Structure 1
């Protein structure tokens, strides 16, 4: 193999290595950013629901509390909404099972989606 071919193969190998490294770094950065944004959205929702529930919890109006929880659950994409009353340990739970229908099993089990 000539020196020219060795240099070209070496440069291509370095280019592919750099391209792969940048892709992995960008993928992880994007995933972490989206996770942080989702956490922020959940925190905002928790604060909003807490403010909406405060007067009803103070007056112990369980029907109004359940209405707020139902409105939160129906108008959002959360899989589970749970409110635990601290005094009585009573729970209001609304849950929706997460089962993707059009996604292959091997794809959902891919390790880069689970930490």
Structure 2
């Protein structure tokens, strides 16, 4: 293997490792940020809904009506009302839709979001807890698009870098290649005069 190829492979390998590291670190930061935002949105939603429920007469029908209205108009994976004995009184759920996301990515990015909770009270008496879990499907889809964009842009950057690197190596190593050819010619008793001397 020529010196040119050895150097090219070494530098290319180092560059690919750096790009992969940048990709993984950047995606990890984006994922953590999305996960945190998902929980904060759920916490805001459960706080708002609990305040609305606390202002009603707290009947079973009123609670179910408010939960249904919020669930139908929001992007939630689950809204649950449990009593003080932790018995599930009412719940609305929705399955995560990941049809547009590859299975490998779903397994790779899967994360658990803490359930946002708020106490419900009637007067001074706590009657239960409201729990909200935001729907993760949109976040998964957004993360998938972000990762694909990062892969494409970093891939293009890698190609451009390798082309520039190839040109630079070709220019730098050209004198060495000329010397190598001259040495091979000498071994064959052929004496070649270098018209253009190396730098």
TM-score normalised to structure 2 length: 0.48
Separation in 2 of the partners of 1:40 and 1:60?
26
Query: Alignment RMSD, CA only?
Result: 2.5
Aligned to 1:51: 51
Cα deviation digits, residues 56-78 of structure 1 (max 9, x gap):
2xx33332222111111111121
> Which is richer in strand?
2
Separation in 2 of the partners of 1:96 and 1:111?
19
By how many angstroms is 1:36 displaced? 0.7
Aligned to 1:71: 69
Cα deviation digits, residues 31-53 of structure 1 (max 9, x gap):
11111110111111111111111
Aligned to 2:109: 113
TM-score normalised to structure 1 length: 0.78
Cα deviation digits, residues 13-32 of structure 1 (max 9, x gap):
11111111111111111111
List alignment gaps of at least 5 residues for structure 2. Answer: 112-199
User: Taking structure 1 as reference, are residues 38 and 2 closer, same or farther at Cα in structure 2, changes over 3 Å only?
Assistant: same
Secondary structure of 1:98 counterpart: coil
List alignment gaps of at least 5 residues for structure 1. Answer: none
Secondary structure of 2:80 counterpart: strand
Greater relative contact order, per chain length (Cα 8 Å cut-off, separation 6+) = 2
Count of residue correspondences: 111
Aligned to 1:95: 93
Aligned to 2:11: 11
Separation in 1 of the partners of 2:29 and 2:75?
24
By how many angstroms is 1:96 displaced? 2.4
Aligned to 1:82: 80
